[in-house]
């Protein structure tokens, strides 16, 4: 046996020790064990080779090799224990404390306008109406002409219009606009359907208008239309009366008064009796002491409107109505400024 065999043994021990100390996880540790102490590992190999060592040195060499093996085994176990402890404490610091209160989830909610639109449409749906929607960018033809409001007619002054400068007619007038009301859907629905018709139309409208507490340049309307043979003013009154009672309470009274809209004849506005003061408080913020609150316009569909879509007014008749859900939400919830609906103030929106 040469001294170099001992030197090799020491070098092997040093390398094994260095690599063991460098193992940072369970997988590296196991790889190390296999490489040195495993069945065909390097230390095992040395011990197996003892038989080849000259007899006179066998004991000394064997003892030295065995000592190194035992020392490495102990060091391995210590290293293993160290790593396990480290892994455990990492686990402990990552642990979730399930007794802590959760992070609050910010719940979304429906906009007050949406709530009221759904309520309105729900009531009409339960009476057999269909809900349909139409375009916000509309042709003059549907917004005005089909509704018995000719070009250049002064009746148009009632709807301050935002025109879209995309198309012009031969006389240079704009033909596209942002719809000023939802009534154009009357014409669109009749054009593509035959009576009986029962629809409500929720949707946005736009007016060229300065804003204040009761005026917005954008707002919603729910339009309604019924057309069939023999539809009468009594049907209009009954339907809208029933609607008002369902929306504002079973003891509501309603009042119809004459009003003018070019697309109906006769035209009316409908009011409900004041649910706040019943007309007893002269300073009431809702009815201002009058006892009545106006909630929509309505009327019997004008024969010209029926004719414009190819219907025969001698055979069919109908009624139409239109209301503003923001106004109804203001009444229901006591909101005093219509601009709040478009201000996106979370403190306002959270209340609904
Ligand atoms: N379109 C009307 C407006 O914006 C509201 C209206 C009134 C609609 C009477 C109707 C109606 O259908 O019959 O002022």
Are residues 120 and 69 part of one domain? no
Indicate if the pLDDT at residue 1 is higher than 60. Answer: no
Average pLDDT rounded to a whole number, residues 208-234: 95
Ligand 1, residues at Cβ distance < 6 Å: 181, 183, 223, 261, 264, 297-299, 320-322
| Closest protein CA for atom 8 of ligand 1 | 322
State how far the Cα of 202 lies from the Cα of 131, in Å rounded to an integer. Answer: 8
Residue 87 sits in the same domain as residue 159: no
What would the pLDDT profile of 128-186 be if each residue is shown by its tens digit? 999 999 999 999 999 999 999 999 899 998 999 999 998 999 999 999 999 999 999 99
- From CA 153, how far away is CA 330, in angstroms rounded? 33
- Look up 181 and say whether it is catalytic: yes
Q: Which of 62, 93, 124 is the last residue of a domain?
A: 93
Q: How far is the CA of 110 from the centre of ligand 1 (A)?
A: 26
Q: Are residues 124 and 58 in the same domain?
A: no
User: 3-class DSSP state for residue 174?
Assistant: strand
Are residues 17 and 147 located together in one domain of the fold?
Answer: no
How far apart are the C-alpha atoms of 27 and 32, rounded to whole Å? 9
Both 208 and 339 in one domain: the answer is yes
Instruction: Please tell me whether residues 154 and 13 are part of one structural domain.
Output: no
Hey, which bits of the chain come out as E strands? 130-131, 137-139, 163-168, 174-178, 197-206, 218-228, 254-259, 264-273, 292-301, 317-323
- Residues with Cβ < 8 Å from 281, sequence gap 6 or more? 289
Burial class (CB in 10 A: 0-12, 13-18, 19+), 119: middle
Distance 15 CA to ligand 1 centre (A): 94
Domain contains 261: yes
Q: Is residue 105 in a domain?
A: no
**Chain-centre distance for alpha carbon 75:** 62
Q: Which atom of ligand 1 is nearest to the CA of 301?
A: 13
Alpha carbon of 198 to ligand 1 centroid (Å): 16
User: What's this model's pTM, rounded to 2 decimal places?
Assistant: 0.73
Is residue 204 located within the same domain as residue 240?
Answer: yes
Mean pLDDT of 19-46: 89
Given a cut of 90, is residue 117 above it in pLDDT?
yes
CA of 278 to the centre of ligand 1 (A): 27
Which of 196, 198, 187 minimizes the C-alpha distance to 308?
187
Asked about 194 being catalytic, the answer comes back as: no
Residues 239 and 290 in one domain: yes
CA of residue 260 to ligand 1 center, whole Å: 9
> Which residues fall within 8 angstroms of residue 233, CB to CB, at 6 or more apart?
266, 300, 319
Residue 102 lies in a domain: no
pLDDT at 317 over 90: yes
User: What Cα–Cα distance (Å) separates residue 107 from each residue in 3, 110, 112, 348, 349?
Assistant: 80, 10, 15, 15, 12
Instruction: Please answer whether residues 99 and 145 qualify as being in contact, where contact means their C-beta atoms are separated by less than 8 angstroms.
Output: no
Do 255 and 130 share a structural domain? Answer: yes
What does the alpha-carbon distance between residue 4 and residue 210 come to, in Å, rounded to a whole number? 102
Does residue 38 lie in a domain region?
Answer: yes
Tell me which residue of 304, 305, 242, 295 sits closest to 272, measured CA to CA: 295
Of 46, 268, 301, 320, which is the active-site residue? Answer: 320
Q: Are 37 and 44 in contact (CB under 8 A)?
A: yes
The whole-number average pLDDT for the span 342-348 is 93
Token duo for residue 168: 């012009």
Tokens of 310: 């190819």
Q: Which of 116, 264, 298, 305 is catalytic?
A: 264
Per the CB < 8 A criterion, the answer to whether 40 and 33 are in contact is no
Catalytic residue among 221, 222, 244, 254: 221
Domain residues for the domain of 60 are: 2-93
- 24 pLDDT band, cuts 50/70/90, is confident
**Which candidate, 201, 205, 257, 247, places its Cα nearest to that of 225?**
201
Pocket test for ligand 1, best of 161, 182, 261, 265 (most atoms within 8 A of CB): 261
How many alpha carbons lie under 13 Å from residue 139 in its C-beta half-sphere?
A: 9
338 and 231 in a common domain: yes
- Whether 137 sits among the annotated catalytic residues: the reply is no
Cα dihedral 255, 260, 263, 264, rounded to 10, equals 40
Residue 128 lies in a domain: yes
Same domain, 163 and 243: yes
Domain membership flag for residue 107: no
In whole angstroms, what is the distance from residue 318 CA to residue 229 CA? 8
Nearest Cα to 198, choosing from 148, 242, 249, 235?
235
Q: How many separate domains does the chain show?
A: 2
Residue at 15 is within a domain: yes
Q: Which of 190, 321, 323, 327 has most ligand 1 atoms within 8 Å of CB, for mutation?
A: 321
- Which has the minimum average pLDDT: 201-205, 322-326, 332-336? 332-336
Atom of ligand 1 nearest to the CA of 268: 9
Residue 3 has pLDDT above 80, yes or no: no
- The rounded distance, in Å, linking the Cα atoms of 157 and 143 is 13
| Residue 103 counted as domain residue | no
- Counting from 1 in the atom list of ligand 1, the atom nearest the Cα of 221 is 4
CATH code of the domain containing 240? 3.30.930.10
* pLDDT on residue 84: 87
Mean pLDDT, residues 346-352 taken together:
93
* Separation between Cα atoms, residue 148 and residue 152, nearest integer Å: 12
Q: Do 52 and 148 sit in the same domain of this protein?
A: no
Is beta strand 163-168 parallel, antiparallel or unpaired with respect to 197-206? Answer: unpaired
Give distance in angstroms: CA of 26 to centre of ligand 1.
78
What DSSP designation does 52 have? G
85 is catalytic: no
pLDDT for position 278 = 84
Give residue 96's pLDDT. 80
At 239, the pLDDT band (50, 70, 90 cuts) reads very high
């Amino acid at each position: 046996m040469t001294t170099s065999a001992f030197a090799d043994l020491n070098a092997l021990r040093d390398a094994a020790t260095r690599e063991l100390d460098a193992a940072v996880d369970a997988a590296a540790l196991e790889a190390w064990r296999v490489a040195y102490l495993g069945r065909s590992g390097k230390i095992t190999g040395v011990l197996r080779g003892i038989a080849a060592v000259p007899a006179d040195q066998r004991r000394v060499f064997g003892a030295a090799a065995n000592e190194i093996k035992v020392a490495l085994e102990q060091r391995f176990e210590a290293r293993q224990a160290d790593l396990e402890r480290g892994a455990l404490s990492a686990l402990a610091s990552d642990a979730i404390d399930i007794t802590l209160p959760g992070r609050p989830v910010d719940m979304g909610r429906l906009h007050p306008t949406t709530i009221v639109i759904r309520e309105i449409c729900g009531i009409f749906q339960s009476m057999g109406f269909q809900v349909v929607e139409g375009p916000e960018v509309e042709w003059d033809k549907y917004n005005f002409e089909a509704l018995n409001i000719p070009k250049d007619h002064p009746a148009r002054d009632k709807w301050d219009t935002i025109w879209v400068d995309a198309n012009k007619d031969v006389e240079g007038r704009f033909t596209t606009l942002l719809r000023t009301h939802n009534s154009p859907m009357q014409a669109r629905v009749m054009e593509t359907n035959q009576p009986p018709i029962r629809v409500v139309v929720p949707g946005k409208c736009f007016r060229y208008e300065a804003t204040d507490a009761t005026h917005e340049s954008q707002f919603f309307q729910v339009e309604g239309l019924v057309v069939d043979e023999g539809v009468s003013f009594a049907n209009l009154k009954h339907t809208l009366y029933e609607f008002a009672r369902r929306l504002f309470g079973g003891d509501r009274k309603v009042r119809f008064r004459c009003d003018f809209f070019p697309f109906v004849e006769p035209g009316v506005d409908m009011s409900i009796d004041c649910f706040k003061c019943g007309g007893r408080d002269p300073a009431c913020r809702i009815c201002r002491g009058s006892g009545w609150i106006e909630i929509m316009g309505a009327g019997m569909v004008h024969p010209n409107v029926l004719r414009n879509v190819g219907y025969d007014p001698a055979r069919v008749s109908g009624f139409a109505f239109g209301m503003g859900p923001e106004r109804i939400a203001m009444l229901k919830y006591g909101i005093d400024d219509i601009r709040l609906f478009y201000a996106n103030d979370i403190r306002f929106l959270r209340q609904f």
